[in-house]
Structure 1
Amino acid sequence: MPTSLTLTTAIILGLLGSAHCLGMCGGIAASIAMTQSRRYYLVAYNVGRIFSYALAGFLVGSLGFMIKDPVTGLILRTGAGLLLIAMGLYIGQWWKGLTRIEKLGQGLWSIIRPAASKLLPVQTLSQALLLGFFWGWLPCGLIYSTLIWSASAQHPLESAVLMFTFGLGTLPAMLATGLLANEIKQLLQRQWIHTVAGIVIIAFGIYTIPWTGLTH
């Protein structure tokens, strides 16, 4: 199973990437929790969303396991590191090139989106859960970066656990935006938040690239 350091990295990536998550999913989360009685729906939505991340991790981990060899591992770790650096630059608002990578998932999303749209407005817990599961497949550079990083484990269960842990990292901000939408949005729009998060994610990306023995 993943080491504690790796799990810590996964949850920190989720926490630091929350500003990006709010831009992608915050509107849906806020609309689900508009009233006190619907706050359980927000929890169900996020459970479905995190489950979709874990499932995606399991799938990419299975691919990595089927072609498990040292060279593949090096390629995956290098790709993951470069994508994390790109994500850090994106979150830090220094470079927007990562949005091009998000377009790669538009084909899958065009298939999923009609089914997700039919669940709105959310009226039941099961609808919220399913909507979260669908919305977890929304094209997102942060998710793609973390997926490739998790795939470097080259084991389906390990990759699934890493993505699940990453999802837990995004949970505080996603739950808060449904309850304190304006306050959280204003906080995460501050430039110093983006700068610190961007720098730390870039550092994770540099650490991930296997160019020294420190990354083994």
Structure 2
Amino acid sequence: MHCAPMCGPFVLGQVSDRLARIPAARLCESARLSSALLLPYHLGRLSTYAALGMLAATSGDILASAAPLGMLPALLLLLGALLFLGHAAGRLVPRLRPLIPASDRAPAAWVRGIARLTSGIDRTRPLGGYLLGVALGFLPCGFLYAALAAAAAAGNAAGGALAMLAFGVGTVPSLLAVGIAGQAAGYAWRRGITAAAPVVMLLNAIILGVLAWQRFAALA
């Protein structure tokens, strides 16, 4: 619901590059579908998310041992809930958007650095697609921050990696749809997505909030 409009252009650009390199005599529906799947790119993103989850959970575990009464995991879950709640509120009440931090905007230097890293990648080849996914996995995203906050409360590196893998897998279907059906998919589903997105975000906020409350209650 969030990835299609934000990351869809990266997918469409790769699909266009791949299709442009297929000879007209070999251009068929199966070739179009194989070009649109971009599996190496998605595997690259998942690799980055898993690594970030491991790092977040390891850091959270180290800090939790020093935090008063082990409150850090509960606070991290609460932070994830608040981030999801903020996104939901911004969609339900547009007037609140200026009050919500723009967590999807990266510093210009960060964007230029990623652009330089990816400029020489041949994204039409599997290895190039994988490396592009690895690099673009570091782009800022409010939902990524919320997922990392929850993953940091996992308590161990394996749990953090699995949590972020689950998050990454959840982002794949909408991007696959954009790659296969093009930007028209986003336009066709926009009304349904606009209605459903705040509800899904609120559910995420509630789940993380309940988990945070359980952690706080266990410390009481």
Residue 41 of structure 2 corresponds to: 45
The percent identity for this pair of structures is 24
- Residue in structure 1 matched with residue 168 of structure 2 by the alignment: 167
1:142-180 deviation line (CA, Å, top 9, x unaligned)? 111111111121322111111111111111111121110
Q: 1:207·1:215 contact (CA, 8 Å) conserved in 2?
A: no
Question: How many pairs were matched up?
Answer: 196
Q: Is 1:112 aligned with 2:129?
A: no
* d(CA) in 2 for partners of 1:75, 1:208: 10
TM-score computed with the length of structure 2 as normaliser: 0.77
AA of the residue aligned to 1:67: L
Residue aligned with 1:49, SS? helix
The 5 A counterparts of 1:82-101 are 82-90=82-90, 94=94, 95-96=96-97, 97-98=99-100, 100-101=102-103
TM-fit CA distance, 1:92: 5.0
Deviation at 1:113, TM superposition (A): 2.7
The aligned runs of 1:201-212 (5 Å cut-off) are: 201-209=201-209, 210-211=212-213
Structure 1 range deviating more: 159-168 or 26-35: 26-35
Report the RMSD for the aligned CA atoms in angstroms.
2.6
Q: Look up the SS of the partner of 2:140 in the other structure.
A: coil
Query: What is the identity, as a one-letter code, of the residue corresponding to 1:145?
Result: A
- Whether 1:198 aligns to 2:213 is no
| Equivalent position SS for 1:100 | coil
> Does 2:15 correspond to 1:33?
yes
In structure 1, how many angstroms separate the alpha carbons of the residues matched to 2:214 and 2:51? 31
- Structure 2 unaligned blocks of 5 or more: 20-30
Q: Which deviates further from its counterpart, 77-86 or 181-190?
A: 181-190
- Aligned partner of 1:179 in structure 2 is 180
Gaps of 5+ in 1: 1-18
Look at both structures and tell me which one has the larger radius of gyration over its CA atoms: 2
Q: TM-score, normalised by structure 1?
A: 0.79
Partner-residue secondary structure (3-state), 1:101: coil
Change over 3 Å in CA distance of 1:93–1:193 after alignment to 2:
farther
Give the Cα separation in 2 of the matches to 1:40 and 1:184.
13
Deviation by residue 1:105-139 (Cα, 9 ceiling, x = unmatched) = 6654443231123326x231111110011111111
1:64 and 2:81 are equivalent in the alignment: no
Distance, in Å, in 2 between the alignment partners of 1:151 and 1:165 is 14
- Counterpart position of 2:156: 155
| CA separation of 1:91 and 1:146: change in aligned 2, threshold 3 A | farther
Task: Write the distance in 2 (CA, Å) between the matches of 1:109 and 1:132.
Answer: 15
Structure 1: distance between partners of 2:193 and 2:93: 11
CA–CA distance in structure 1, aligned partners of residues 108 and 72 of structure 2 = 26
Q: Is the 8 A contact 2:87 2:201 kept in 1?
A: yes
